[in-house]
Amino acid sequence: MRQTVLFFLCILSLISCRNNEKEVYLFTSFHEPADAGLRLLYSEDGYHWDSLPGIFLKPEVGRQKVMRDPSITSGSDGTFHLVWTCSWNKDSGFGYASSKDLIHWSEQKYISVLESDTSVVNVWAPEIFHEDETQEFYIVWASTIPFKFEKGIEEERNNHRLYYIKTKDFINFTPAKLFYDPGFSSIDAEIVKRAPSDYVLVFKDNTRPERNILAAFASAPDGPYGNPTQHFTEMFTEGPSVAKVGDEWLIYFDSYRNKTYNAVATKDFQTFTDISDKISIPEGHKHGTILKVPLSVIEKIKNK
């Protein structure tokens, strides 16, 4: 009897250690011209980032077989799920793969989402979000369907709107639906959950002359979103990546005209403070998403 009790105490101790394991920040990345594959950064404080050496997944699907905008999340079982832009145009889907350790990956899949509409120009920047309450994965992306929406001064083939699908198993997917139409061309949308029934959508206004970042709000992950903020970055910025650090949200973004990587901090998604002088990002990094992972995941990658 005593041995049985000791056994269960050991199991509980192991579980407690895993639950209390230190977490660090992981940042998915790519370098131009985006044909090499997935790169990874990590940070202990959310401000200062280092590269994990190597290419972790070489793109093999899509017409152009590139990997841009790699977006990652993890499910309740700890599996990592990655989606990415696999072509600039003439594709109706995106790339997908999964991994338990970020070292060994599943076979890559091409997930076609808008094949029924032959006029679709592109499928850009799929962003994946895991809803822990329903165990559903939301994938939001931007596509142009010419002459479907009103547009500004951008050309018809650059008039994006945001669409989405849902899945629980990455085998069965809901039909693609319009996710959010703010009345202008939009790309690079990331869902942020602040609390139950409290969601923020951070995205890029892709219209001329704006081409900068703002946020909208909803009580459910699939909206409806509304009450958009003012733009809180300068022009020629894109690819917002959001991380909760302490009691603030840090929003990283790519200032592509200046060829710099910048960030703002906010507590309420209404007031934003430029913190670009407080961060450090390795040269060549292009936008992905940020996720907290156990330190042991990073240590295994380093040891390999």
Structure tokens at 139: 């994938």
Classify residue 276: in a domain, yes or no.
yes
Closest C-alpha among 136, 127, 102 to residue 294: 102
The three-state secondary structure class of 75 is: coil
What digits encode the pLDDT tens for the residues 23-62?
999 999 999 999 999 999 999 999 999 999 999 999 999 9
**Cα gap 85→30, rounded to integer Å:** 11
Classify residue 239: in a domain, yes or no.
yes
DSSP 192-235: EEEETTEEEEEEEE-STTT-EEEEEEESSTT---B------S-S
Classify residue 88: in a domain, yes or no.
yes
* Domain harbouring 257, CATH code: 2.115.10.20
Classify residue 4: in a domain, yes or no.
no
Residue numbers of the domain that contains 28 = 23-303
The three-state secondary structure class of 126 is: strand
Classify residue 139: in a domain, yes or no.
yes
pTM of this prediction? 0.92
**Cα gap 211→208, rounded to integer Å:** 6
Residue type, 189: A
Domain count across the chain: 1
What digits encode the pLDDT tens for the residues 99-141?
999 999 999 999 999 988 889 999 999 999 999 999 999 999 9
Residue type, 40: L
Ramachandran area for residue 107 (φ above 0: left; ψ -120 to 50: alpha; else beta): beta
Residue type, 283: E
